[in-house]
Every structure is written in C-alpha cells, then in structure tokens.
Amino acid sequence: MGTSFFFSCCFLIFSNRREMDPFAFIVQGLEKPVRVHTVSNETVDGTLLAVDDHCNVMLRGWKVVGHDTKGVEGPASSSLLAPIRFIRGAQIKTITLVQ
C-alpha cells in the first residue's frame, strides 16, 4: 500500500503541473490588463485581446509605459476607437498580469 500510494501522489502532483503550462496560463489572461516587456526594452500596457501558439499577442487600448518611452504613449486618439497593437512572440521577454 505504501508504494502504490507514493506513486499515486507523484502522478497527481505531476499531472497537475502539466495542466498549467505557460500557454494555458497566458490564455487565462484574455480580456485582462497585462504588461508586456519586449527585447527592445519597451514596456507596453494593454488589455490582452488574443494570443496564439507562437505567443504573438494583440493588445487593445495599449500604451507604452516607463521612463524611457521616447515620448510614445500610444496611437493618436483619433486614429481608432480602441487602438490595437500586435507584438510578435519572438520580441517578447515577459508578459505579466497587471492588478
């Protein structure tokens, strides 16, 4: 009984880890505010609109944040009602949920 209980516990622990892969975690953040840090040291805040299996993301209502933004805060307000930005997955260092 002791050995089978041990293996059952190990299976349960490892099977739960597989359920929470990084892509599944990001998908749970759809329609929530996120902060994306890029390899070009840009930080972009916005609402996560879409993500694909290459971790390409689309942000709605985005703006560049931080003290090194070079004056960029997002698109002109007259250009779109809900500005959307596409960021290629290869350009992303981190994605974090913003509270």
Q: What is the pLDDT along the chain (99 residues), one digit of tens a residue?
A: 444 444 444 444 455 555 667 778 788 889 999 999 999 999 999 999 999 989 999 999 999 997 555 545 565 454 556 689 999 999 999 999 897
pLDDT at 11: 46
d(CA 51, CA 59): 9
d(CA 89, CA 79): 25
SS3 48: strand
CA angle 26, 29, 34 (to 5 degrees): 95
pLDDT at 90: 96
Count of positions (residues) in the chain: 99
Place of tokens 């779109």: 80
Asked whether the whole model's pTM tops 0.75, one would answer no
User: For the chain, which domains are there?
Assistant: 25-97 (2.30.30.100)
Encoded amino acid at 90, one letter: A
